[in-house]
């Protein structure tokens, strides 16, 4: 299959549409740097589009009809949206599923300490990262501190121009002879990723307290500014992410450099596509989940019962006589795009890719028949008949797409949430956007691919199975 460059075949009208969509996306990922923030943004967008919270409908005992729009959240970190179709729900859902967590540094529960005149916060990295990439760059802190009385303190420090930023120090080159001989995985170790947050001691302390005067000053500032104590770190969720907004990249402005493209570059067009489909034949669904980067575990990950429980509640509001067999039929008859990113071809590291089966930036939506590692271990391997159905729809709607694998067979691998939904017997394939620098603090994507993903997701929701 010869893939096509999107820009070459685009009219000026389409290029303007690509740029407009990219601006909206840049705003989204610049404001949504954590799963909580993405979930909040999604709720606002969905409610503006007429979606109603599921819990409210359950309390009212209201039955659902074709065209009704519903959303449900899970612990403010995952969200699912549904629009009821014209066909009976047991004929299946058309599902777009992406994740909204990204690699980062998490602040530990007992993090604050002083050493060498610095106040630092102890961190634990989250997801697959090259630890050395996180040193000496401006960092921001996002998240919540929940006090014992239930008060939630929202934290966002480092994004406004007047905000301070934070950083992880690195050994100066003049003293780094032994460090430079280490393997890349050992140059910076996990326990060295502590962020420096202050250097000014509290004034007028006793001689005995001077050894922790910088820490004392930080605690005073936290109390005065945010009204929480050191013990409140125990019930906090604070994430350290690169500071600053996503930016257009390249003199031609064809790309976007930003934090968290994996996987918000698929989550955002999935959400937009979901909101722009009206009165579908089949019930449509967009699910944005947490914890994919660490195995989709926990109550907010795809392995939890959150999604299937939500579908059960939706079915119960659609039919007069709910039964488990209806739920099973609905799941088995569903079609899904696991909307996740793929490794974009990087000419600097060309030997890691099979050029015949790699995704190129600017060549459209990427389909990955299987992920996994080496001998397809841990993979969802999509059905050929299902892929043919998708090809037909996208070709009809002139969506530009390509097929790819995640690098050469024996080089490495990766996974998505596809295999989890496939457990229900539904057809699933990975479909997303090619990314350079995946899992780095700053990743790069093509505006054109972002737009084709949006167009492809709309076609899928409206037409697959109809």
Return the structure tokens found at 278.
């009206």
pLDDT digits (tens, 9 = 90+) for 396-448: 999 999 999 888 887 877 778 889 999 999 999 999 999 999 999 999 999 99
Q: What is the pTM of this model?
A: 0.95
Give CA–CA dist 156/139, Å, rounded.
11
Per-residue pLDDT, 413: 75
* Sign of the CA dihedral running 43, 47, 48, 51: positive
1 pLDDT above the threshold of 70: no
**Does domain 104-242 bear CATH number 2.30.250.10?**
yes
Q: How many C-beta neighbours within 10 Å does residue 259 have?
A: 23
Residue extents of the structural domains in the chain: 7-102+259-463, 104-242
Per-residue pLDDT, 410: 79
Please list, in sequence order, all residues whose beta carbon lies within 8 angstroms of the beta carbon of residue 211, skipping any fewer than 6 positions away.
Answer: 114
pLDDT confidence tier of residue 254, bands split at 50, 70 and 90: very high
Per-residue pLDDT, 34: 98
Q: Do 1 and 44 touch, CB atoms closer than 8 A?
A: no
Beta-strand relationship, 434-435 and 335-338: unpaired
Per-residue pLDDT, 370: 85
Helix, strand or coil, per DSSP, at residue 255: strand
Question: What radius of gyration do the chain's Cα atoms show?
Answer: 24
Lowest mean pLDDT among 35-44, 60-69, 307-316, 375-384: 375-384
Lowest mean pLDDT among 54-68, 91-105, 134-148, 372-386: 372-386
CATH number of 7-102+259-463: 3.40.630.10
209 pLDDT above the threshold of 80: no
Place of tokens 């990087």: 346
pLDDT digits (tens, 9 = 90+) for 124-164: 999 999 999 999 999 999 999 999 999 999 999 999 999 99
pLDDT digits (tens, 9 = 90+) for 295-347: 999 999 999 999 999 999 999 999 999 999 999 999 999 999 999 999 999 99
Per-residue pLDDT, 205: 79
Mean confidence (pLDDT) of the chain: 95
**Which residue would you say has higher pLDDT here, 357 or 413?**
357
């Amino acid at each position: 299959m010869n893939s096509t460059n999107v820009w070459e075949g685009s009219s000026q009208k389409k290029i303007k549409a690509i740029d407009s969509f990219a601006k909206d996306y840049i705003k989204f990922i610049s404001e949504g740097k954590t799963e909580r923030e993405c979930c909040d943004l999604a709720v606002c967008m969905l409610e503006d589009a007429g979606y109603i919270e599921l819990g409210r409908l359950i309390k009212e005992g209201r039955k659902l009809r074709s065209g009704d729009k519903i959303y449900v959240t899970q612990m403010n970190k995952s969200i699912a949206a549904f629009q009821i179709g014209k066909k009976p729900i047991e004929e299946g859902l058309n599902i777009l599923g992406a994740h909204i967590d990204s690699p980062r540094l998490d602040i530990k529960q007992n993090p604050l300490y002083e050493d060498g005149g610095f106040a630092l916060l102890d961190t634990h990295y989250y997801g697959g990262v090259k630890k050395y990439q996180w040193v000496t760059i401006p960092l921001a802190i996002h998240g919540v501190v929940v006090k014992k009385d239930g008060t939630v303190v929202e934290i966002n420090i480092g994004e406004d121009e007047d905000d301070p930023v934070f950083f992880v120090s690195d050994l100066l080159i003049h003293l780094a002879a032994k460090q430079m001989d280490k393997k890349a995985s050992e140059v910076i170790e996990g326990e060295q990723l502590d962020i420096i947050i202050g250097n000014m001691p509290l004034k007028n302390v006793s001689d005995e307290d001077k050894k922790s005067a910088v820490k004392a000053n930080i605690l005073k500032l936290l109390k005065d500014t945010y009204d929480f104590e050191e013990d409140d770190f125990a019930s906090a969720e604070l994430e350290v992410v690169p500071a600053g907004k996503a930016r257009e990249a390249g003199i031609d402005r064809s790309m976007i450099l930003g934090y968290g493209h994996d996987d918000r570059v698929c989550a955002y067009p999935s959400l937009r596509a979901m909101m722009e489909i009206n009165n579908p034949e089949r019930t449509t669904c967009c699910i944005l989940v947490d914890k994919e980067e660490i195995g989709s575990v926990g109550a907010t990950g795809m392995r939890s019962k959150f999604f299937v429980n939500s579908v059960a509640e939706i079915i119960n509001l659609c039919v007069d006589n709910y039964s488990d067999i209806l739920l099973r039929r609905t799941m088995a008859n569903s079609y899904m795009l696991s909307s996740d990113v793929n490794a974009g071809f990087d000419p600097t590291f060309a030997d890691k890719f099979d050029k015949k089966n790699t995704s190129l930036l600017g060549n459209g939506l990427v389909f990955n028949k299987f992920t996994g590692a080496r001998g397809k271990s841990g993979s969802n391997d999509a059905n050929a008949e299902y892929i043919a159905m998708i090809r037909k729809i996208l070709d009809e709607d002139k969506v530009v797409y390509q097929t790819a694998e995640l690098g050469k067979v024996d080089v490495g691998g990766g996974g998505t949430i596809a295999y989890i939904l496939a457990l229900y017997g539904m057809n699933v394939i990975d479909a997303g956007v090619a990314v350079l620098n995946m899992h780095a603090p700053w990743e790069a994507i093509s505006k054109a691919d972002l737009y084709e993903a949006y167009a492809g997701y709309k076609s899928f929701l409206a037409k697959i199975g109809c």
